[in-house]
Amino acid sequence: MTAAPALLRAPASIRLGSGAVRTLGATVRSLAGEGKVLVCTDSFLASASQGAAVEASLRAAGLDYELLDSAQPELPLAGVEDAIAAARSIAPDVVVGLGGGSCIDVAKLVSLGLAHDAPLAEHYGENAVPGPSLPVVAVPTTGGTGSEVTPVAVLTDPGRELKVGISSPWLIPRAAICDPDLCFGAPRSVTAYAGIDALAHAIEAYTAVGRSSWEEMGERVFVGSGQLTDGFALRAIGQISDSFLDALEDRSSGRAGMLSGSLLAGLAFGTAGTAAAHALQYPLGAASKTPHGLGVGLLLPFVMRFNAPAAEEKLRHVGEALGVGSDPEAASAKVREIGLAAGLPGSLREIGVDRGDLPRMAAQAVGITRLIDNNPRPVGPVDAEALLEAAWAGDLDRIEMKAAC
């Protein structure tokens, strides 16, 4: 047993399994009492079977609720501000977030905006939320982002080149109700990008640096790997690799495995954080206008190879969890194979990235220190550019699996 310090933050309750949505009403009732309930979702889910299941559960618990169904993918800032303004006139006591990461993140930001009357930009970054926000009950439908258990919400501010995150333990939902039956019908591309992102969450959380003292851990939101998150991460890797392709076919075992796997990945990365694949995706996503999961999934095997000299033992465990034996090289090859099978492009060239833009993207990525400092192997501008060059060509063998002397 390691003596290294370890931390875990999580919702007060997590319910996982078929039919869990029936427990939503009682969960909300325990938080709201006789107070008001707001359900944040999007217009599709509000009128689909997911909206009906939430309504039935709330009504069965004797709860009335107001509906805000304006959530938009990628959370444009203006849309979030409008949602907060609309919620203010409702003055709820509990906010339910029903949907994929977009709807759950809107619920988190509405609850933040109602509790703290400041422009959202004042909360960008880490630990810039001054205190508790309203209780959020998260009901995911994509299986998925893990947002139902994480301390972060991501939005698009047209005044910023890169997407922005608000990361604070105060954003962790109070309860998560994870019912795989709600994930049927999620579009294939949404399932693919969220699924490979979840695998990246688990692998990057597991291989992240560990902090060796409380002082080193400090007050950061994302503290690196540790014994309280490692088990979740490894189990997530196994479940995701077992169920991802079945989820893409909308099979029930696949949906259940992915919801559970992405939840476990969320528990791991919500405390441990992610690393270089995520840092490199931010400028890539901004330049190529491609989804987060596409970029992270494409880059991850390259980053795993690069990390092998510094995280060999952990990557051996990753290989075992992926079912390819204790070989870091086989682990990265397997992740690439999973991504390609899910329909991810094989190279940055294929998605139209200008090769001449790679040095600028590399410089931007290494500037995201909260992610780069979490990577097990130091990443400088030259390393980042080499990673992007290899990913541009789609050639894993360009990454040396040994540290340069």
Please tell me the distance from the alpha carbon of residue 222 to that of residue 231, in angstroms, as a whole number: 17
Q: Which residues contact 238 (CB under 8 A, 6 or more apart)?
A: 261, 321, 322, 323
Nearest partner of 50 among 148, 174, 184, 144, judged by Cα: 184
Site for ligand NAD in 154-213 (CB under 6 A): 154, 182-183, 185-187, 190, 194, 197
Answer yes or no whether residue 264 interacts with ligand NAD by CB under 6 A: no
Site stretch for Fe ion (CB under 5 A), options 11-19, 191-199, 220-228, 341-349: 191-199
Note the Cα 233 to chain centre separation in Å: 13
Least CB distance to Fe ion at residue 260 (A) = 18
By CB under 6 A, tell whether 14 contacts ligand NAD: no
CB neighbours of residue 197 within 10 Å = 29
**For ligand NAD, which is the closer residue by CB, 186 or 338?**
186
Q: How far is the CB of 75 from ligand NAD (least distance, A)?
A: 5
Q: Which does 152 bind (CB under 5 to 8 A by kind): ligand NAD, Fe ion, none?
A: ligand NAD
Binding to ligand NAD by residue 42, rule CB under 6 A?
yes
265 part of the interface to ligand NAD, by CB under 6 A: no
Residues 6 or more apart from 2 whose CB is under 8 A from it? 227
Rg (CA), the chain: 20
Output the CA angle 209-152-97, nearest 5 degrees.
Answer: 140
**Smaller CB separation from Fe ion, 27 or 262:** 262
Determine the residue with CB nearest Fe ion: 197
Q: Give the integer Cα–Cα distance in Å for 362 and 381.
A: 6
The verdict on 230 binding ligand NAD (CB under 6 A) reads no
Residues 40, 54: contact at Cβ < 8 Å? no
DSSP H stretches of helix in 61-146: 77-90, 101-115
123 binds, among Fe ion, ligand NAD, none (CB under 5 to 8 A by kind): none
The pair of structure tokens assigned to 153 is: 């919400």
Measured from the CB atom, the residue of 31 and 208 that comes closer to Fe ion is 208
Q: b/e string for 375-386 if b means 16 or more Cβ within 10 A?
A: bbbebeeebbbb
Number of residues lying near ligand NAD (CB under 6 A):
31
173's contact among ligand NAD, Fe ion, none, with CB below 5 to 8 A by partner kind, is none
Question: Interface with Fe ion includes 197 (CB under 5 A)?
Answer: yes
* Contacts to ligand NAD from residues 80-109, by CB under 6 A: 99-103, 105
Structure tokens at 288: 């190529």
Is-contact 37 66, C-beta < 8 A?
Answer: yes
Q: How many CB atoms lie within 10 A of CB 231?
A: 13
Told to check if 77 binds ligand NAD by CB under 6 A, we report no
| Residue 257 or 319 having the CB closest to ligand NAD | 257
Query: Minimal distance in Å, beta carbon 210 to ligand NAD?
Result: 21
Q: Considering CB distances under 5 to 8 angstroms, the limit depending on partner class, which of ligand NAD, Fe ion, none binds residue 69?
A: none
**In the numeric block, which tokens belong to residue 47?**
């009128």
Position with the least CB separation from ligand NAD: 101
Q: Give least dist CB 87 to Fe ion, A.
A: 26
Binding mask 281-310 for ligand NAD (x = CB under 6 A): -----------x------------------
| Interface with Fe ion: number of residues (CB under 5 A) | 1
Q: Is 150 a residue that touches ligand NAD (CB under 6 A)? A: yes
User: Rounded distance, CA 330 to CA 177, Å?
Assistant: 35
Q: Where are the alpha helices (DSSP H) in 323-401?
A: 328-341, 358-366, 369-372, 381-393
Q: Are 108 and 133 in contact (CB under 8 A)?
A: yes
Q: Which stretches of the chain bind ligand NAD, using CB under 6 A?
A: 42, 44-45, 73-75, 99-103, 105, 141-142, 144-147, 150, 152-154, 182-183, 185-187, 190, 194, 197, 292
Kindly list the residues in this chain that would bind Fe ion in the complex (CB under 5 A): 197
